[in-house]
Structure 1
């Protein structure tokens, strides 16, 4: 049985998570409505978070995530990437294609680690690169972890720009695709981010920040038959990464 937490700490963390869910900023009334806490309590907690740099008050009187949260996120991403590299290396070695680890970063995904393919023609994504969620394998896998309302919100804020003629550019179609991803347990980028490139991606289960593993390469090599081998290996690696992060 889990030990009871410190209520004020739990409430402050809940507020930070709510700010992230709202895309990084929200008003007091929104936070009060979602949390069920009185406005006076929300105001007191937010004032403390602002004083410590974990939140900031905007000219609009709304609240946004602060710089100290970003610093913690960067540190967590580096640590996660370091711990996952051997799993990525195994995926790249066994499948012969590039393996990536990405995390949700607002309305984008950011790559935090990679193990490159040994082929001369291979996919290379710079660690630290931020990409749209609707057009990438890791991005769509991450969207599958979010409720439909959050998917709609991200689509409205970030837009659904077409990277190729295969990119999903309609929110209804995106929601349908996300529903399929939830059912089958993995996402596919079939030339939606880059022509001639295919990617299979799965989420890392049970981690605080939505995180995804992927393998990608030229569509001529990364076929759907390839995916039948790749997806189970990605799921296995994702469970191992999750277990290491939880200390189990």
Structure 2
């Protein structure tokens, strides 16, 4: 009696994972889904996620329902899905670790420039400072790790928003109250959009006494698919001259690329461009 060949996959079923790759497809897809939700502003519908990830809707639904049951995603009254509260604990520890990984790059900035070097991350419409190496001068800037500040009056905030799609940056600014920290603070959405255009053109952002009188800061965003960190140097305005800022920018870019390597290391099976 002839043997029957095994039945093929059902129409619309997920393809089988590749053997020998050492990677678990369902785990990989779960994290791709969470990253897609983050890229979409933290909230998305099933059809949006299916289109973005090029996966069947039933697959997306199963992944999302599992994440909802675990508390990593929650369903909104609009029936869309949002990143859930259990991710906060993971994010807090990851931020602390990133601050540790960034320290060698910040120390190198201080060695070459002399002013205080900082790492900040985006949290809603605020930035959170996650690491700092103080400058070498007796009079220097000190920012407490964990301190929060609004995006519109900080070089790190402007640098990160400038790398985002304009509509995503507009959404963040729309949810922010643009308090005037000093007489130099930009406090109108139109003025801030024009400032982001200048940052995009220049490739770096400057805080010209917008957060604190007598202090200037220059920042470069950490490159990546979704900019969520930036490195900066800050110091007293008389020392933070335009010439020093121009000297610092290429060094900040080098540091930002180093931190990016810590955030998104080369994945297995991918080749690094020469």
TM-score class, shorter: 0.7 to 0.9
Matched pairs, number = 246
Match of 1:134 in 2: 152
Match of 1:66 in 2: 84
User: Taking structure 1 as reference, are residues 207 and 119 closer, same or farther at Cα in structure 2, changes over 3 Å only?
Assistant: farther
Match of 2:108 in 1: 90
RMSD over aligned CA atoms reads: 2.8
Matched, 1:124 2:150: no
User: Taking structure 1 as reference, are residues 86 and 162 closer, same or farther at Cα in structure 2, changes over 3 Å only?
Assistant: same
Do 1:97 and 1:122's aligned partners in 2 also have CA atoms closer than 8 Å?
A: yes
Match of 2:34 in 1: 16
Aligned mate of 1:167, from 185, 189, 201: 185
CA distance in 1, matches of 2:174, 2:50: 23
Alignment of 1:148-227 (within 5 A): 148-206=166-224, 210-227=228-245
Shift of 1:6: 6.7
CA distance in 1, matches of 2:40, 2:181: 25
CA distance in 1, matches of 2:243, 2:173: 31
What secondary structure, in the 3-state scheme, does the structure 2 residue paired with 1:179 have? Answer: helix
Shift of 1:149: 0.2
Shift of 1:176: 1.8
Matched, 1:238 2:252: no
Shift of 1:211: 1.5
Do 2:164 and 2:227's aligned partners in 1 also have CA atoms closer than 8 Å?
A: no
CA distance in 1, matches of 2:117, 2:209: 17
| Max Rg structure | 2
Do 1:113 and 1:127's aligned partners in 2 also have CA atoms closer than 8 Å?
A: yes
Matched, 1:49 2:76: no
CA distance in 2, matches of 1:129, 1:169: 21
153-162 or 36-45, which deviates more: 36-45
CA distance in 1, matches of 2:92, 2:46: 27
Length-normalised TM-score, structure 1: 0.85
Length-normalised TM-score, structure 2: 0.77
User: Taking structure 1 as reference, are residues 40 and 141 closer, same or farther at Cα in structure 2, changes over 3 Å only?
Assistant: same
Which sections of structure 1, spanning at least 5 residues, go unmatched?
none
Which sections of structure 2, spanning at least 5 residues, go unmatched?
1-20, 267-271
Match of 2:121 in 1: 103
CA distance in 2, matches of 1:7, 1:163: 48
